[in-house]
Amino acid sequence: MDKVREAIAAGRPAFAAWMSLADPLAADALARAGYDCVIPDAQHGGITWENLLPALTALDLHQTRAVVRTPWADPAQIMRALDLGALGVIVPMVSTAEQARAAAQACRYPPHGIRSFGPVRNYYAASPATFEPLCLVMIETAEAMQNLDAIAATPGVDGLFIGPVDLALSLGLGVQLQMGPQVLAAVDEVVAACRRHGKISGSACLGLANAAELAGRGVQFIAQGSDAAFLRTGAARELEQLRAIG
């Protein structure tokens, strides 16, 4: 089941949440919420190769698939995430067409890629030649913006996924926890490049208002919030109300 592509085909954005807590209960809670997919974060979160499989299994119980953010643009890491049963991958820090091509080829079996056949789980056993995992490459550097069309044109890349905070840093804007005009202009460039090349436009977002703004700008795959943030903000809100009791 690919709710991400289904949502986009239906003309609405696909919505995802980040999973950073290394516990199947967190995966279970996010899956029950009904997101189109969940993003286990193996780059900045607590997801490791030791705890990824239990998280994927918990998500699968509720027919929610995972798109794993890999630690780096490493073909071995990409192949392993897919073999464990992920729907796809988000590959960080892709700045050139060559790096995008390496990520895409790690997702595809020959003759379209270099992926080795070794499915740990059963998603590919029936038709490994036709199953197409999602390959989303992250646009989060000034160099990537300069190479945008070449990255978007790369065969096997399904979409471009903006990392807004790292992109702001790379553009010399410092840490921005709200998207400023230059980052929003970059969003528009990414959306336009994706439309030209028939690719999915995606982005991490910085709050619900930002999610609405991204959707209005044509972003098709939006990742908002995380299990850790939901726990922290929910607990803080409840505690504030408790303290108001007296």
Task: Give the model confidence (pLDDT) of 149-203 as tens digits.
Answer: 999 999 999 999 999 999 999 999 999 989 999 999 999 999 999 999 999 999 9
Name the residues annotated as catalytic: 44
pTM: 0.94
Q: Give, rounded to a whole angstrom, the gap between the first and last alpha carbons of the chain.
A: 50
CATH number at residue 79: 3.20.20.60
pLDDT band at 206 (very low <50, low <70, confident <90, very high): very high
| Better pLDDT: 2 or 223 | 223
Residue 12 domain boundaries: 3-244
In total, how many domains does the chain have? 1
Which of 123, 130, 131, 79 has the alpha carbon at shortest distance from 102? 79
Four-residue CA torsion sign, 206, 207, 210, 215: positive
Q: What does the pLDDT look like over 101-127, one tens digit per residue?
A: 999 999 999 999 999 988 777 555 455
Question: What is the largest distance, in Å, between two alpha-carbon atoms of the chain?
Answer: 68
